[in-house]
């Protein structure tokens, strides 16, 4: 599957989905007006790709300094896709909070229901 690369805008994060290296990332801020049209296609591609994987090392990195409430729902759906893939693969969700404790808290809250995927919080000083 061809890589997905989207540059960041004022309200949408930078997207890097590398289906060969199996590394995926979202970086920036997320508060677009139409959440479904931004995240829907990304989730579908990720989901259909992951359905055919097993015994792979997969890493998804979040480097988000702000996401609004409707983005939060979309992010939870992405995490659900990753968690399901974690039943057959080694999936790691890395959240870089950039030293910000409030972001760290939000990340932990979002990821607390992951059962199969591993959650790693990075970017805290201590």
Partner 1 sequence: MSFGKTIRQSLELVQVDKKTARSVFAIFVEETQNIVRYSKAILPEDADDSEAVLRHGFIAVGSPEKDVYFVCCGNLILKDDVQRLSRHLKHIATLDSDGLKALYKEILKDAVPEGSKGAGVGFVDIARRANGAFEYDFKDVDDKHAYFYLKAYA
Binding residues vs partner 1 (CB under 8 A): 10-11, 31-33, 35, 66, 68-70, 72-73, 76, 100, 102, 109
Least Å from the CB of residue 32 to partner 1: 8
Query: Strands 14-18 and 23-30, how do they pair?
Result: antiparallel
Comparison of 87 and 108: residue with beta carbon closer to partner 1: 108
Comparison of 11 and 16: residue with beta carbon closer to partner 1: 11
DSSP state of 53: -
Least Å from the CB of residue 95 to partner 1: 17
Comparison of 10 and 55: residue with beta carbon closer to partner 1: 10
Cα–Cα distance measured from residue 124 to residue 98, given in angstroms and rounded to the nearest whole number: 7
Least Å from the CB of residue 68 to partner 1: 5
Comparison of 58 and 107: residue with beta carbon closer to partner 1: 107
Cα–Cα distance measured from residue 54 to residue 74, given in angstroms and rounded to the nearest whole number: 24
Query: Strands 23-30 and 57-67, how do they pair?
Result: parallel
Least Å from the CB of residue 102 to partner 1: 6
User: CB–CB of 17/53 below 8 Å?
Assistant: no
Cα–Cα distance measured from residue 62 to residue 121, given in angstroms and rounded to the nearest whole number: 10
């Amino acid at each position: 599957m061809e890589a997905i690369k989207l540059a960041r805008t004022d309200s949408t994060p930078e997207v890097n989905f590398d289906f060969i290296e199996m590394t995926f990332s979202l970086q920036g801020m997320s508060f677009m007006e139409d959440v479904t049209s931004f995240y829907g296609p990304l989730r579908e591609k990720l989901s259909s790709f992951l359905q055919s994987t097993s015994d792979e090392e997969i890493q998804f990195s979040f480097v988000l300094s702000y996401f609004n409430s409707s983005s939060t729902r979309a992010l939870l759906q992405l995490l659900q896709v990753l968690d399901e893939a974690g039943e057959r693969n080694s999936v790691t969700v890395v959240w870089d909070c950039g030293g910000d404790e409030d972001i760290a808290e939000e990340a932990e809250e979002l990821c607390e229901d992951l059962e199969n995927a591993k959650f790693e919080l990075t970017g805290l000083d201590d």
